[in-house]
Structure formats: structure tokens, C-alpha cells
Amino acid sequence: MDEITCKDLVELVTPYLEDALDEPTLDRLEEHLVMCEWCVDYLEQIRATIGALGTLPPEPVPERLREAIAGALREGS
Amino acid sequence: MTVYKFLRPGAIGPFSGFRWPQPRGSAPGPWVGADAAPVRCRRGVHACRLHDLPWWLAEELWEVDLAGEVVAYPHKVAGPRGRLVGRVEGWTGAARRDYVHACAWRARDRALEGLDARAAERLRACATLEDVQSTARDLAEADAQARIALAMAADGAMTALSELPAMGAYVAAHAARRAGGEAAMAAERRWQAGWLAERLALNAPAG
């Protein structure tokens, strides 16, 4: 990848946060972040969202929804 | 190991948002970090060698001590622990302005390489960065082949006039890359690092 644009960064943010980028792409992404405050803000928002969602307890699945899904699966099989 | 670190105003990490404890008087700030080995972008204290500086520009420049086993990456180093030793006082608004202006003129010079003699003469004759910006834009409309190099020259001038050193350094580096590939970009980054080292009287990392 030659240069990373803001649009590219949006696509790359998940692999970046999962430490799954190859070295050259990571270099280019960091180079972009240094000069782009918008993308730093975006990255912080994603990090904050992940952090906030990570603290939520799992919601129980409503019984009616569970039955509807089970019924749909039975009909489909 | 003594290296450098760019921070936002108030000694705040640009990406982490971490507010670094600052030195008091002549004593370095307290150590920050843990004993675990650093992991790029994830754990540890990240800092710059002299040649890494242009990649990480921000408003404040600090001298930093790293302790423990230091890991080197292509454009930075990281250690388990670090502390701020002292601020590089020469990295002022005036120095940032001079730096980004120097980068802008170099982006202008890159654009000259791909122009015909008449267009090159017009761009070379520009006495101010305002002139570079407007002339490069004019020329770009008439020269499809050199359009991108000229747009980069105009962008370089814009970053200087807007006092955006990180972006100006980026534009100059990528203008070089466009003209001469990865080696030219690396050479441009070395030139930028040399400018900073000379202007700020920085020494190569010790320790």
C-alpha cells in the first residue's frame, strides 16, 4: 500500500486494533495517524466503544426470540 | 538509553492520551511502565532515535530515558519503562515553522524535476510559498503528466502556510517517493532528521 487515506484507515482500523496488520501497512498507517487528527479521534472513538461494550454484561435472549429462531431453523431443515 | 519523544501540549501522548509525569527541576520525571517486554503499539514506552524524528512530529519534543531491554522497529524503539528527562526547548513555534517551510520548498523542488523548461522556470521563480501554491495549481491544470507532483508542491506550500509540520514533512517525503521511489523517500526523511538534529542541537542516542 503506497499511502493510506482516511478512507483506508476506516477499513484498516479493525486489523490494526487486533494487531493483524503486516509491517509495511502498519508503518503507513502510523505515518497517516501522525498527521491526521481526525483519524486519531476516530481511532479513539472506536477504542472507547470497544472498551464500553466490553464492560456490558451479556443480555439474556428473550424466550420468544429463542423459540422463533428455533422454529425457523426447524422449518428450514 | 537516551532517545526522544514527541508529545502533545502538556506532555500528553499523541495516541495513548497518557499524561506523562514531568521532570521537576533538574531531576528526571518518575519512571513509567512495567517490567514486561514491550509490544509494538500495545505495551511499553515508545520513543524515537534521531532518524525516526520526522515520522512522529508533534508540538512538544522531550528527551527520554528508556530502561530494560529496548526493541528497535523500523521507525521507533520501545522499552519496558521510560521517563521524561527534559524538554527540548528549541522545538518552538518558530522552529516548527522554519521546518515546515524547508519541507515545502523541497516539495517544490521535487515538482521541478518533472516539468518542461518553461513551466519549471515559472515554478522556480516563485519567491514565496503563496506563489508556489498558486503557480503549482495553475501549472497542474495544464500539465496532466506532472499534475500529481505539482499538486504535492501546492499541498506542501499549504501545509507550511497553515503551519502543519507533520503534514508538510509527509508531503515532502511522499513527493520524493513519487519521484524516486522508496530510496528517495528514505533519503528525504534522513534530510528532515538532519535538519531537526542540527537546528535543535540533538545528539545521537546514548547509553
ipTM score of the complex?
A: 0.73
Cell of B83: 521517563
Residue numbers in B near A40 (CB within 8 A): 14-15
Buried b (16+ CB within 10 A) or exposed e, B80-106: bbbbbbeebeebeeebbeebbbbbbbb
User: Would residue B9 count as lying in a domain?
Assistant: yes
In this prediction, residue B187 carries a pLDDT of 96
When the pLDDT of each residue in chain B is averaged and rounded to a whole number, the result is 92
Over residues B106-152, the pLDDT tens digits come to: 999 999 988 989 999 999 999 999 999 999 999 999 888 889 999 99
Asked if B59 and B108 sit in the same domain, the reply is no
Among B72, B87, B102, the domain-final residue is: B87
Over residues B2-44, the pLDDT tens digits come to: 799 999 999 999 888 899 999 998 899 999 987 777 766 667 8
Residue A48, pLDDT > 70, answer yes
When the pLDDT of each residue in chain A is averaged and rounded to a whole number, the result is 88
Q: Do residues B42 and B194 make contact, with C-beta atoms less than 8 angstroms apart?
A: no
Asked if B9 and B37 sit in the same domain, the reply is yes
Q: For residues B113 and B4, what is the distance between their CA atoms, to the nearest angstrom?
A: 35
In this prediction, residue B95 carries a pLDDT of 98
In this prediction, residue B111 carries a pLDDT of 94
Residue B170, pLDDT > 60, answer yes
The total of structural domains in chain B comes to 2
Over residues B78-105, the pLDDT tens digits come to: 999 999 999 999 999 999 999 999 999 9
A3 phi, psi to nearest 5 deg: -135, 150
User: Would residue B205 count as lying in a domain?
Assistant: no
For residue B55, give the chain A residue with the closest CA.
A31
Q: Does B9 touch chain A (CB under 8 A)?
A: no
Residue A37, pLDDT > 90, answer no
Among B66, B87, B108, the domain-final residue is: B87
Longest CA–CA span in chain A (Å) reads 55
Strand order in the sheet with B2-7: B2-7, B60-67, B81-87, B32-33
B136 phi, psi to nearest 5 deg: -60, -40
Residue B56 is part of which domain span? 2-87
- The partner residues of B203 in beta bridges, in order of sequence, read none
Question: For testing the chain A interface, which of B170, B174, B185 should be mutated: the one with the most A CBs within 10 Å?
Answer: B170
In this prediction, residue B42 carries a pLDDT of 66
- With CA atoms as reference, report the closest residue to B167 among A19, A39, A13: A39
pTM above 0.90, yes or no: no
CA dihedral B26, B32, B34, B39 (to 10 degrees): -120
CA distance A54 to chain B (A): 18
Instruction: Report the sign of the C-alpha dihedral through residues B88, B94, B96, B100, in that order.
Output: negative
User: Would residue B21 count as lying in a domain?
Assistant: yes
Q: Do residues B66 and B33 make contact, with C-beta atoms less than 8 angstroms apart?
A: no
Over residues B171-182, the pLDDT tens digits come to: 999 999 998 999
User: Would residue B206 count as lying in a domain?
Assistant: no
Least confident of B67-71, B81-85, B184-188: B67-71
DSSP state of B190: H
In this prediction, residue B175 carries a pLDDT of 94
